[in-house]
Amino acid sequence: MGRVYATTAELEAYTGKPAPANAARRLARASRLVDAAMVAAVYEVDADGYPAAPEARSAFREAVCVQVDAWAGREAERAELGPWTSVSAGPVSMSRPDAGARVEDDTALTAEAVEILEALNLPRTVWT
């Protein structure tokens, strides 16, 4: 398993809410997204590959927590909407996209997580 930048306890402390049942998997996934976003960033790391500077490590942790909290929020919104994707009652018909169709939720960092990482203002290496 790769680096995971936040623990379940840190997630709970950050959000003030109990961690979701699958928090460990979500924290790992969000950490991989942070790694992907920071692939060209230049920063010192410790022996385990975590950012050495406390402010960078804190930002990575915060970005992961923000991301997992956003996923949990979207999941709650979908649960409130109910399981239907299409319903008809007489002449009235309503539909919405299936919750499973929103793949982008798990493939990109939220704008807030990106802002947290960009605020570090780390130099970037560009390979050509």
How far is 83 from 19, CA to CA, in rounded Å? 23
Average per-residue pLDDT in the chain?
Answer: 86
Residue 30 has pLDDT above 80, yes or no: yes
Structure tokens at 83: 């399981």
The token pair that represents 33 in the structure block: 């997204």
| pTM for the predicted model, two decimal places | 0.78
Lowest mean pLDDT among 1-5, 12-16, 23-27, 48-52: 1-5
- Helix ranges, the chain (H): 8-15, 23-37, 54-81, 111-118
Tell me which residue of 77, 71, 63 sits closest to 118, measured CA to CA: 63
Token pair for 119:
């605020």
Task: Give percent above pLDDT 70 in the chain.
Answer: 80
Taking the domains of the chain in order of start, what are their residue ranges? 8-80+99-118
Rounded-to-integer distance, Cα 5 and Cα 37, Å: 14
Is the Cβ–Cβ distance between 60 and 33 less than 8 Å? no
Percentage of the chain beyond pLDDT 90 is 66
The pLDDT assigned to 82 comes to 53
**Residue 101 confidence (pLDDT):** 46
- Residue 128: predicted pLDDT: 75
Average pLDDT, integer, range 64-75: 89
Question: What's the pLDDT score for residue 67?
Answer: 97
Please tell me whether residue 87 adopts helix, strand or coil conformation: strand
Question: Using CB atoms within 10 A of its CB, is residue 3 exposed (0-12), middle (13-18) or buried (19+)?
Answer: middle
